[in-house]
Chains A and B, each alone.
Chain A
Amino acid sequence: MNILYIAYYTIITNVRDYRTFVKRLFMPLLITLILGTALQGVFEPTKLEKTSVVYYNADAGDVSRNFDEFLKLEAITTLLNVKEVKSEEEGMTSVKDGDASAFIYLNQDYSKAIMDKKKSAISIYSNNVKNSRVTIVQNIVDSFIIGANTTEALAKLDSKMNYDAKSGGIEEVPVSVGGKTPGSMDYYAVTMLMLTLMAGALYGSDEMSQDFTGALGRRLRSSPMRPMQHFVGKIIGCVTLLFVQAMIVYFFTKVAFDANWGANPGMIMLVVLTLAVLSTALGVMISMLSKDQARSTSILNMLVPIMTFIGGGYVKLDLEQLMYLSPNYLGQTIIFNNIYGGTVGSASCFIALWTIIAVIFIISGWGARRKLA
C-alpha cells in the first residue's frame, strides 16, 4: 500500500503547487498557439510553378533529336520552361546567375555513344542539387531514359508493343490537403505534446531529489518503508501526473485549436504513456547521478529544449540521422505517421526501444540511489 500512498501524495503535492503545474501545462499550449498562428504560411502547400531550364544539345544524332522532341511534349512544357542556349558556357552562366534552375546538356557524341553501345549520359547542372526543382528536372530526364531503354528492349524482343513516352514522370495532382499533411496548428500540437512529455523529466528529477537526497529523504529512509516501495511509488506518481498533463494538452489542442490528432487515440495514448515513463526515468537517473536538485534541474533545462529543437519541435528541420537521437522526433514521427497514414511499422520498434532505454535509466537511478547514504 505504501507504493500507492507515495504515488498519491506525489500527484497531489505537484498539483497543489499550482503555479508550477499551470506553467508546465500552459506553456506548451501557449507555444502551440503562437507558433501555430505565426507560421501558418510555412505549412500551407504551394502551387507547383513551371521550372525554368536551359538546354544545349551539342549532338546532331537521332537519339538526341528524340530528346529535343521529348522536351517539346505538352506534358513536359506544363512543368518545364525550356530555353535553348547556343553553347555549354552560356548554359552554365545561366545556372550560375540564377536565371535557370538547371542546365541540361547533351554532348556531341551522345547519339554515337548510344549507337555504339557505349556509356553515355545526359548531364544536368545546378547550383543546388537538393533543390526540389532540380529533382523535378532529374525525374523528367530519368523518365526519358527509362522510356528509351524500354523502347530498345521492346525492339530487341521484336515486340509490336509501343512505348508512349508522353508522361512527364511527375504528375500534378490536385489534392485536398486536409487530413493529408499537417497544418501549423496540427504540427505544433504534436511537437508541443512531445515537449510537455520531455519537460516532465523535471517531475522525476524534482521528486527524487527531494525524497532521496535532501533532509526529507533522510527522514523517509529512516522510516520502515522499503526503499523499493518508495522508489516505485515515486515513479508511478510522476508517470501518472505526466500522462494526465499530456492528455490535457492532447484534448485541449483537439478541442480549442482544432488540431488533427487522427482517428486512433489508442496509439497516441500508448506513445504518451511510454514516453512519460521514459521522461520520468530520465529525470530519475539524472537526479540520482547528480545527487543535487539544482544541478539536475540545470541539466534537464538544457537537455529538454535541445531535444525538442533537434527533433524539429520549434521549427521544421532536416538534421537527418541526428534527429533520431531526440525522443521528441521519434514520438512525433509515430504520431504523424499514425495521423497521416505514413509507415506505422516503425512504431512498435521505437516504443520498444525507448521502453528498454527507460528501464536502463531506472535501473541506473536505483543503483545510484544505493550509494547516497
Chain B
Amino acid sequence: MKKRLLYLVLLLQTSLLLAQVSFTAFASKNKLGVNERFSLTFSVNGSGDRFTAPDLSSFSILSGPSTSSSTTIINGKVTRENTYTYYLRTKKIGVYTIGSASIFVKGRQYRSGNVSIQVLKTSPQSNSIFSPEANARENVFLNLELSNSNPYVGEQVVAKYKLYFSQEVRSPDLLKEPTYTGFWHEDYDLGENYPIQQVQRNGKTFKVATLKKLVLIPQRSGELTLDAMDLDVPVVIPTNQRDFFGRIQSRILNIVCSSDAKVLSVKSLPLKGKPANFSGAVGDFEFTTRLDRDSIKTNESATLSMRVSGTGNLRMIDLPSFKIPNDLEAYEPKFKETINLNKAGLSGFKRVEHLLIPRNRGDYKVSVGSFNYFNPKLKKYISVDKPSYVLNVEGEENPPSTSLMVNNITKEDVSFIGKDILYIKTSLGHLQDSKELFYGSFVFQAFLFFIIFVLFTALVLAYLLRKSMIDLKKWRRGGAMKQAFSILDSVSDEPFNIIQQSLQLYLRKKWGLDRSQFDKEIIEELLISKNIDAALVNEVVSILESCEIARFTQVNPKEGIQKSSLLNKTKKVIERLENY
C-alpha cells in the first residue's frame, strides 16, 4: 500500500515539476532486519544517460539495475521518466548510507541524494505479535538435525536441514550455505521434489521437508561449529481481500529462516590399542582378499584382489598393499570403488585387483598384512589379518626328448645364443670307487704322520749323534779303565786337564753318575760312602787338587817329572779303585 502511495506521490510530483530535472533516490524500506529484501529506486524525469550507481557493497544485489521508462502526455506536454531499480538484501546489522548516484541529462550531471538504511537484528515488523510476519515466523522454521553430536574423529555424522511449516510456503531460496570448517562433507542427492512428511510438534501439526542432507566427517578433534544456514522462504499469507470471484486473495511474504549454529564436540580416537600402521578407517568394515588360482604355469596369469566394504569414511582410507615378490610380474593395480550415501552415511566398497604373471617356477608367497579400523560403536580398534597366499608356479611342459636350444637368455654379454651344450664324453674316464677323497683320508694322514715321524726321528738321531760324537768314538773300545788309560796315554798338550777329566770319567762311568755333580767334595763324599779306605780317598783328592792347582796357576805346566809322576799316581789310584 505504502509503495503504491509513494508511486502516486512521485507521479504527482513529476507532473508538477515539469520542466525541472529531478534525480531522486528512494528505498522501499529504511528500517529492516538482517537478510531482508528491499528495493532501491533512482528515478529521473527526462531521458538520462551514463547512469552511475553508488557503492552497494554493503548489501547483496539480488537483481538490478533494471531500467524502466514511462512517457506521459498531458495537454500536449510530454513528460518522460526513467527509473533504475535495484533489488537488494541486507547483510549485516548496522546503519548504512547509500551514496549518491549520478546521471547526465542533456549533458548536465545530476546527483541524487543519500539514502540511509538501518539494519536491525530482526525485522521491525515482526516485533508486533500479531503481524503476519511474526505469525509466519512461528509457523515456519528451519531445524538442523544431527545423527550424533559427539562423534569420533573420522566417524560420519548425518546432518539434515529440515524446514518445518504449518503455513503454505513456496520453494525457498538458499541465502547462506553453512561452512563446514574442519569437516569433510558430501551432500545427498535429494532429487527435485522434497518429500514432505507430517509431524506433531508442540501440539501443532507441521509439515516437514528435508531441504539438505549431508554426511559430515570431522577431521580433527575438539569443538567444531556448524554455522547457521539461512533460507529465504516465501510464505503465503491470506489477506482479507477477495478477488472478483470471491476467493481470498493472498500475498507472499518473504521471511528469513535460520537454523541454529551447532557445536559438535569431536572426540579424538583412543590411543589405547591403536595399531602402529592405523589406516585411518573409522566405521564398520569387512576386509576380504582373494587369489583366484593356487597353482599356475609360468607366463599364465592369476588375479589377486582385495576388498574393503562397509560403512564408514570409505573415501578417506587407503587399502593396505600386497607384498608381491619380484618373480611375479605385477601389472598396475586396477582400482574400483562404489560408494553410496545411504541412511547410515557413506557405504560401499573399495577394491584393488592385481594381475600377476609368474616368470619363474617355484612357490611364491604373497602376503597382505592386515587391515585395521576403528569401530566407533564398539569403541575399539579391529584388525583383520589375512594369511599369506602361496602361489605354486609350475614350469611349462616341454617335450623331454627334443634337441633343446638355449632359450630364455636374459643376461647381457651373451656371446653364444642358440648354441647347444657340448656332447657327452665318450669314455668313462678314470673311475674311482670311493666317494672319500684321498686328501684327509686315513692313508693320507698316516703317510703324512709317518713322514713327520721319520723326520723327527732322524733329527733326534742326528742331534744325539752330534752331541756324543766324542764319546762315541772314544768309548766304543770298551771298559772304563782302558778308556781312561788311553786318554791318559794320549796326554800331550794339556796334561792336568786331561788327567782330571779322565779320573772324573772313570769315576762317573764306574758308579754311573751325573757329570754336573763332579766337585772335589762330592767325589770325596761319594768315595767315603762306597767304603773306600781313607788313604785312597785322600790320594784321589790330592790328585784332583794338584791338577786344579796346576791348571789355574799355570805353574810350569809342561814340567815332565810332575806330569809323569801325577800320571803314574793316577794310574795306580785307578788300579786300586778298580778293586772296589
Are the chains A and B members of one assembly?
Answer: no
